[in-house]
Amino acid sequence: MCDHMNIIEIENLGHRFSDGTLGLDNINLTIKEGAFVIIGGQNGSGKTTLLRHLNGLLLPNTGTIRLAGIPVSQNLARSRQIVGMVFQDSDSQIVGETVYDDVAFGPENLRLDRRQVKRRVSDALKAVGLIALADQRPHLLSGGEKRRLTIAGILAMEPKVLVFDEPFSDLDYPGVRQLLKQIFALHKAGHTILVATHDLEKVIAHADHLVIMKDGKVVRDGLPGEMVKGVEAFGVREPFDSRPGMEVKS
Amino acid sequence: MTELTAFSFRPGASLLHGLDVRFKLVFLVIISLASLKAAPLALCVLTFVLIGVIIDIRLPIKVIFKELRYFLILLLFVFIARMLTTPGSSLIQFKAVSVTLEGVYGGILVCWRLVIIIMIGLSFVATTRPSEIKAAIQWFLNPFPFIPAKRVATMMSLVIRFMPVILDQAKETADAQRARGVENRKNPVYRLRKLVIPLMRRTFESADKLAVAMEARCYSENRTDPGLSSGIRDWIALFAVICLCIIIIKI
């Protein structure tokens, strides 16, 4: 086996919505374990639709997706455990009445015993720095804290891949910085990271794989430094550093 | 939302914090029922016990009274209604309205009981995690074959979680409409319609997102059972509470 095995393999993936519009059109993509991938594209380009196929929230009309070699649709529970997903709107994904309960929601769904649930919750809360707020009601958290809570809720399921869908929307500058630090730390800890965003600038310096989508198709796929030139043609703002021919950094 | 923050869990290490939630729920019910039967002397006893409990929990009394001010206004109305409508020997007579001695006495008694019940409820909520309340209700519903206890428990916790979110959205929608001069419209039906429809739409949209997020976290009804444990302390407390209730009813 090679150094970095492919954790996600997408072959000829196509998805048509029930109203007949084409969501994804013949997508082929492989993502290596431990990679930091940015999926860029303007709103409506198919980023969210693609991500929702990774853990079987949407099922393909054509093609297959394999997670560590096994098709997603073969075992949905396994797929959802491997691919943790942080959604755009924090408020509608926090289900617990307290911070602790929310993080415990996932492990409880996995039917772990109480002791394990407790350990996973406290590990996850420590990882995002919210352990002191364990008894707080989620409603009273700040935007950045809510976003970190949603990450903790996913971490408690011990996924290999972390998927962030437009993670920077609605966050103030300190919130963005803290979230970036969090994402980088998770990458360093060995997670495969996928970030869907229309704002490449914030994360591109840390990424090792850039995918650009437009109208449900993958139009660029490769190393960020090589792929970032001319992305404005696809409705994505080119990072400032790349324009005068400088090296891209954060 | 500040009106509802009085009724929330406050971490601590008091006697009540340590008791099993199922016992506490039973206490809540039987003491409340007993207090409806209680005479003034019994209410005094109950009040002293409650004050002891509240001091033990370290509830910030001032904050709570401030947050319960609307409830106190309601109590005042109850008192006035009782005072004016109970027949008996009149204290003050003003045209057709008369304040009776029996009315004042009855009003004080009713308000006193209501305050006690609210305080019992408050002590319960302040010392019990919402997840424990949910677990206890699930436990009590389990013997009924026709009630899906786990589903009820999940629905309950989602209601607790989303009430403040929905209220916030309602406020935001109302503010946005006020900014566009909705107050110039005097027809309350029109205003209600304009408020409720966008609010409902938004709530259903969040519900959709919530369902997807729950699915992504492997939601199923077959989950880890809530951890509930009772000990000798709970049975002693149960005995004490039953004695208290007998005293309250008998005095």
Domains of chain A, first to last:
6-242 (3.40.50.300)
The answer on B42 and B122 residing in a single domain is yes
CA distance B146 to chain A (A): 23
CA nearest to B9 within chain A? A135
Residue B176 lies in a domain: yes
CB atoms within 10 A of CB A51: 21
Compute the distance between CA of residue A98 and CA of residue B160 in angstroms, rounded to an integer.
10
Interface contact B157-A91, CB threshold 8 A = no
Interface check for A112 against chain B (CB to CB < 8 A): the answer is yes
Residue B118 lies in a domain: yes
CA nearest to B160 within chain A? A97
Is the reported ipTM for this assembly greater than 0.90?
A: no
Average pLDDT over residues B198-208: 92
Return the pLDDT at B48: 92
The answer on B106 and B20 residing in a single domain is yes
Q: Kindly list the residues from chain A whose CB atom is less than 8 angstroms away from the CB atom of residue B157.
A: 95-97, 101
Q: Kindly list the residues from chain A whose CB atom is less than 8 angstroms away from the CB atom of residue B138.
A: none
CA distance B227 to chain A (A): 7
A1 pLDDT higher than 50: no
CA distances from B193 to A93, B171, B174, B200, B205 (A): 28, 15, 12, 10, 18
Return the pLDDT at A130: 93
The answer on B201 and B157 residing in a single domain is yes
| Continuous segment of H or E residues that includes residue B45 | helix B40-57
Of the candidates B131, B168, B209, the beta carbon closest to that of A89 is on B209
Mean pLDDT (chain A) is 89
Three-state DSSP class for residue A99: helix
Q: State the residue range of the domain holding B88.
A: 2-129+229-250
Average pLDDT over residues B88-99: 78
Q: Kindly list the residues from chain B whose CB atom is less than 8 angstroms away from the CB atom of residue A154.
A: 217
Return the pLDDT at A250: 47
Interface check for A115 against chain B (CB to CB < 8 A): the answer is no
Return the pLDDT at A14: 94
Residue B87 lies in a domain: yes
B10 pLDDT higher than 90: no
Residue B1 confidence class, pLDDT cut points 50, 70, 90: very low
Return the pLDDT at B2: 43
The model's pLDDT over B55-78, given as tens digits with 9 standing for 90+, comes to 888 888 887 787 788 888 999 999
B214, B217, B219: best mutation site toward chain A, by most A Cβ within 10 Å? B217
CA nearest to B11 within chain A? A135
Of the candidates A93, A107, A138, the beta carbon closest to that of B213 is on A93
Residue B138 lies in a domain: no
User: Domains in chain B: how many in total?
Assistant: 2
> For residues B33 and B200, is the Cβ–Cβ distance under 8 A?
no
Compute the distance between CA of residue A248 and CA of residue A240 in angstroms, rounded to an integer.
8
The answer on B198 and B110 residing in a single domain is no
CA nearest to B158 within chain A? A95
Interface check for A89 against chain B (CB to CB < 8 A): the answer is yes
Name the least confident of A118-127, A183-192, B59-68: B59-68
Residue B94 lies in a domain: yes
> For residues A179 and A7, is the Cβ–Cβ distance under 8 A?
no
> For residues B218 and A77, is the Cβ–Cβ distance under 8 A?
yes
The answer on B235 and B215 residing in a single domain is no
Compute the distance between CA of residue B146 and CA of residue B153 in angstroms, rounded to an integer.
14
Interface contact A98-B206, CB threshold 8 A = no
The answer on B107 and B26 residing in a single domain is yes
Residue B4 confidence class, pLDDT cut points 50, 70, 90: low
The answer on B63 and B172 residing in a single domain is no
The model's pLDDT over B154-180, given as tens digits with 9 standing for 90+, comes to 888 888 888 888 888 899 999 999 888
The answer on B103 and B16 residing in a single domain is yes
Average pLDDT over residues B209-224: 88
The answer on B111 and B9 residing in a single domain is yes
B21, B208, B224, B228: best mutation site toward chain A, by most A Cβ within 10 Å? B224
The model's pLDDT over B178-197, given as tens digits with 9 standing for 90+, comes to 888 888 888 889 988 989 99
A247 pLDDT higher than 60: no
Mean pLDDT (chain B) is 86
Residue B102 lies in a domain: yes
Name the least confident of A97-111, A135-149, A213-227, B95-109: B95-109
In A177-206, the residues whose Cβ lies within 8 Å of chain B are none
The model's pLDDT over A25-52, given as tens digits with 9 standing for 90+, comes to 999 999 999 999 999 999 989 999 999 9
Interface contact B222-A111, CB threshold 8 A = yes
Q: Kindly list the residues from chain B whose CB atom is less than 8 angstroms away from the CB atom of residue A108.
A: 223-224
Interface contact B213-A107, CB threshold 8 A = no
Compute the distance between CA of residue B96 and CA of residue A188 in angstroms, rounded to an integer.
82
The answer on B62 and B170 residing in a single domain is no
B125, B137, B218: best mutation site toward chain A, by most A Cβ within 10 Å? B218
The answer on B115 and B6 residing in a single domain is yes
Residue A118 CA to its chain's centroid (Å):
25
Interface contact B130-A108, CB threshold 8 A = no
DSSP string, B71-89: HHHHHHHHHHHHHHHS-SS
Interface check for A227 against chain B (CB to CB < 8 A): the answer is no
Return the pLDDT at B5: 64
CA distance A55 to chain B (A): 7
CA nearest to A53 within chain B? B216
CA distance A237 to chain B (A): 28
Interface contact A101-B224, CB threshold 8 A = no
Average pLDDT over residues B69-97: 84
DSSP string, A8-49: EEEEEEEEE-TTS-EEEEEEEEEEETT-EEEEE--TTSSHHH
Residue B52 lies in a domain: yes
The answer on B79 and B47 residing in a single domain is yes
Q: How many CB pairs under 8 A join A and B?
A: 96
Of the candidates B11, B165, B227, the beta carbon closest to that of A139 is on B165
Compute the distance between CA of residue B205 and CA of residue B210 in angstroms, rounded to an integer.
9
Three-state DSSP class for residue B55: helix
Q: Categorise residue A27: left if φ over 0, alpha if ψ from -120 to 50, beta otherwise.
A: beta
Residue B139 lies in a domain: no
CA nearest to B221 within chain A? A109
Interface contact A112-B224, CB threshold 8 A = yes
Residue A218 confidence class, pLDDT cut points 50, 70, 90: very high
